[in-house]
Amino acid sequence: MGKNILSVLLFALFLAPNLSFGSDEVTTENIDAKAQKNKEHKEYINHHLQDSYDFTIWHEYGIGFPLPIILIDEGFHIFSSSNFHHGETVAESNGKFYKVYHNKIYRTDAEGTITLDDHHHPTQVKPLDLSITKNVFTILIFSIFIFLLFRSFARSYGENQIPNKIGRFMEPLVIFVRDEIAIPNIGEKHYKKFMSYLLTVFFFIWFLNLAGMTPLGIGVTNNIAVTFTLAIITFLITLFTSRKAYWGHIFWMPGVPVPMKIVLAPIELLGVFIKPFALMIRLFANMTAGHVVMMSLIALLYIFPNWFAKGAFLSLTLFLSILELLVAFLQAYIFTMLTALYFGGAVAEHDDH
């Protein structure tokens, strides 16, 4: 990989003196074009980060496929997202008309009128949207993939004790989650009942983070709804498995003077909600930031006229891609680790350490 970066840099150096002419004249036209270009890049990045109703692989050439739209709006509506023609036309279903406005579906009339209120929000009715969007589709595909992968992995143990081909890769990771994450944080006694959830969450986040690194544009973990759901599940499991000592630590902190016990109680209660909230924000923000930085660097390739700068940004993008591969694993690890830590606190039985 280092050799690749080096050759790109050399290439850039070689071309730098030859190809940077002709773009140094600054005119008002130039500036306008540049501002327009910047705006386009920004829109492209935002579009990439958002969920969408059809699975678009190559936006410019219209390569992709439509996905089903499912709406509950005084009845059940199922139709293909191709009826929207990428949000340009009104779709009709059972006598009702729908239009996509800013990536949300609204009920309108046959002309597709959208009226805005003072806060620039549409006044039209937003039906309950259960559509299989790009993110939902990706999650379903990867869930099936992970399920099949682990099934074949588990089945190979029935025949002999040596793991099969996938197993040789997966076994150390499963052992890692058990020995490095679950047992130290939850404890030898209770860790077993949490293993299924910890493994699921670890591989789900890791695989989907890696999927976000592909050029398909399927960033699922940079959608806050997905991380919210994961955090909520952790929160609920923590609450429902909690023992007496967990609530004792919150409302009547052992080992501190009585006035402090009273002051700490509301703060610790706040902490119960802050912990899953921080989990949600951490995964969402890290993945979103990674994607924004990467795409901004790629956009800079098109903005800078200098070939030397292009080479530098290309190598920086390559370097950051490798870093993002690490972050993909790290975020899955941290999420699982903290989840295990909260479970450990919930099932702790005594106060002495």
* Interface with another protein, residue 245, by CB under 8 A: no
| Nearest-5° Cα angle at 309, 303 to 315 | 105
Shortest Å distance, C-beta 162 to another protein = 21
**Nearer of residues 88 and 188 to another protein, judged by Cβ:** 188
Shortest Å distance, C-beta 252 to another protein = 14
* Interface with another protein, residue 48, by CB under 8 A: no
* Interface with another protein, residue 338, by CB under 8 A: yes
* Interface with another protein, residue 263, by CB under 8 A: yes
* Interface with another protein, residue 346, by CB under 8 A: no
Q: Find the part of the chain contacting another protein (CB under 8 A) among 34-42, 79-87, 95-103, 269-277.
A: 269-277
Judged by CB under 8 A, which of 188, 215, 258, 350 binds another protein? 188
Shortest Å distance, C-beta 228 to another protein = 16
**Nearer of residues 62 and 259 to another protein, judged by Cβ:** 259
Judged by CB under 8 A, which of 6, 63, 154, 278 binds another protein? 278
* Cross-strand partners of 193: none
The pair of structure tokens assigned to 320 is 């950051």
**Nearer of residues 162 and 274 to another protein, judged by Cβ:** 274
Quote the CA–CA distance of 297 and 208 in Å, as a whole number.
22
**Nearer of residues 81 and 185 to another protein, judged by Cβ:** 185
Shortest Å distance, C-beta 274 to another protein = 5
Q: How many residues bind another protein (CB under 8 A)?
A: 23
* Interface with another protein, residue 73, by CB under 8 A: no
Shortest Å distance, C-beta 65 to another protein = 40
**Nearer of residues 98 and 202 to another protein, judged by Cβ:** 202
Residues in contact with another protein by CB under 8 A are: 179-180, 183-185, 188, 256, 260, 263-264, 267, 270-271, 274-275, 277-278, 282, 334, 337-338, 341, 353
